[in-house]
Amino acid sequence: MPSSIIDCSPYRAELLALASELPTVPRADLYAFFEDAMRLAERLPQELRAGLDDFNAKGNMDGYWLLRGLPVEPDDELPPTPRSSPPPEDRRLLNMEAMLCIVGGALGLLTAYDQGYGNRRSITVLHELFPTPKAHPLSGGTSKSQLEFHTDLSHHARQPNYILLSCSRGDHEGKAATLVSSIRKALPLLSDKVRDHLFDRVFTRRFDAADPEATAHVKALYGNKDDPYVSFNRSFLTAETPQDIAALDALSAALADVTEPILLTRGDLLIIDNFRIAHGRAPFTARWDGKDRWLHRAYVRTDRNGQLSDGERSGDVVPFIPRR
C-alpha cells in the first residue's frame, strides 16, 4: 500500500514558484485568490497531483495524507504567532497559506461555514489555530487540555469532505500531536451488534431553541455497512439508553486502539478525510513568546456525499443546514 506520508522536498522550488504567482495580499479579494489557487493546482508536480487525485477518489486505510517538506519561510521571517483573530486584512501571504490553498484547490472547493451555534470565528475560509488565553476547552485555541476525538461539522448537511492543516510553526516541545483514528481500521474491532446499533440509532440535537427546524439528526456510522463513514463526537452523540452507552463506548475504544499521533512541524500539510476519521490533539504548553504553535486550517467540499448543489464557488460561506 502506498505511504500516506509524502516527501515534497524535491518539489520545493517548483512549489515556491507556484506560490509566487498568487496575489501577495490574499484577503484583499479572497474569491480572486482562490480562483488563482485552483488554476495553479493544475500545475502541481505531476506525481503530487496524481497522488492527490487518487486520495480524493478512493481515500486510504489511514484516512489522511501528510505532505512534508513544503516551502516555509525561515522562522525569523515569519510574523509572531498570533494571539487573537482575525488576522490583519493586509497581512502578506505566507508560504503555508499558499500551500494550503493550492492543495485545497486540487481537491475541491475551499469553504466557510456557519456552524449553527454562534461560532462566528469559523465564518471565514482561512482559519488559524494557535493557543489563545482563556480558550474554550473544546476549541482549537486550547493548549493545556486534550482536544477530544470528533468529526468536524458532522451535524451540518454540507459537512466538509476534508480538513487541511498546514504548519508554519510547531510547538516548542514537540508534544502537540494531531491524533487521528480511521474508521476503516477501527471497524473490524466492533461486533456486529455494536455496528447494527450505531447504524440504526439516530442522535438529535437542537441548535436554536426558537426554531425546531434547526435540529440535526446524526448517525455515528452510516453509508456502506462494509465501509462506513463515521460521525463521532461524544458531546453531540448523547447516550440515552444502556445500548447507546455500550455502543458508543465500544466505538470510542476501537478508535482509541487505532489512534495514530501525527506531530506537525514546519512545512507539513495534513489532509484529513473528514468522513473516515475522528481526530483530536494532544495537550501542549504555550509560552506566549511569539513562537508558539501556528497552524492554518481550511475546509474543502467535493461533489460527493451531497456537499455541493450547483453554482458554488471556492470561497463561499455555507449557511447552517442541519443534517436530516
C-alpha to C-alpha distance for 220 and 222, rounded to whole angstroms: 7
- Mean pLDDT of the region 269-291: 95
Q: Tell me which of 213 and 46 has the higher pLDDT.
A: 46
pLDDT beyond 60 at 40: yes
Report pTM: 0.94
Q: What is the percent of the chain where pLDDT is above 90? A: 79
pLDDT beyond 90 at 39: yes
Element (H, E) at 149: strand 147-150
Q: Give the three cell numbers for residue 179.
A: 491524533
Q: Give the three cell numbers for residue 72.
A: 516555509
Whole-number mean pLDDT of the chain? Answer: 92
- Mean pLDDT of the region 31-35: 98
Interhelix angle 95-107/12-19, nearest 10 degrees: 90
Cis preceding linkage at 10, omega within 30 = no
- Mean pLDDT of the region 215-226: 95
Q: What is the pLDDT of residues 281-322, one digit of tens each?
A: 999 999 999 999 999 999 999 988 778 877 899 999 999 889
C-alpha to C-alpha distance for 208 and 205, rounded to whole angstroms: 9
Q: Tell me which of 70 and 122 has the higher pLDDT.
A: 70
User: Which backbone phi and psi does 35 adopt, to 5 degrees?
Assistant: -60, -45
- Mean pLDDT of the region 129-136: 77
How close are the terminal C-alpha atoms of the chain, in Å? 36
Q: What is the pLDDT of residues 221-264, one digit of tens each?
A: 999 999 999 999 887 788 889 999 999 999 999 999 999 999 99
pLDDT reported for residue 214: 83
Sorting pLDDT into bands at 50, 70 and 90, what band is 144? Answer: low
Q: Are strands 5-7 and 64-68 parallel, antiparallel or unpaired?
A: parallel
Cross-strand bridge partners of residue 301: 109
pLDDT reported for residue 213: 79
Assign 174 to helix, strand or coil: coil
Q: Which of 272, 235, 230 is nearest to 117 (CA)?
A: 235
C-alpha to C-alpha distance for 18 and 129, rounded to whole angstroms: 25
pLDDT beyond 60 at 140: no
pLDDT reported for residue 5: 97
- Mean pLDDT of the region 51-76: 97
| Contact between residue 35 and residue 102 where contact means Cβ atoms under 8 Å apart | no
Q: Give the 3-state DSSP-derived string for 216-241, with helices as H, strands as E and coil as C.
A: EEECCEEEECCEEEECCECCCCCCCC
Cross-strand bridge partners of residue 228: 223
pLDDT reported for residue 142: 54
| Contact between residue 250 and residue 296 where contact means Cβ atoms under 8 Å apart | no
Q: What is the pLDDT of residues 12-26, one digit of tens each?
A: 999 999 999 999 999
pLDDT reported for residue 53: 96
129 φψ region: left (φ > 0), alpha (ψ -120 to 50), beta (else): beta
Sorting pLDDT into bands at 50, 70 and 90, what band is 44? Answer: very high
C-alpha to C-alpha distance for 124 and 83, rounded to whole angstroms: 17
Q: What is the pLDDT of residues 152-205, one digit of tens each?
A: 999 999 999 999 999 999 999 999 999 999 999 999 999 999 999 999 999 998
Sorting pLDDT into bands at 50, 70 and 90, what band is 137? Answer: low
Q: Tell me which of 113 and 308 has the higher pLDDT.
A: 113
| Contact between residue 276 and residue 63 where contact means Cβ atoms under 8 Å apart | yes
| Contact between residue 130 and residue 241 where contact means Cβ atoms under 8 Å apart | no
pLDDT reported for residue 134: 65
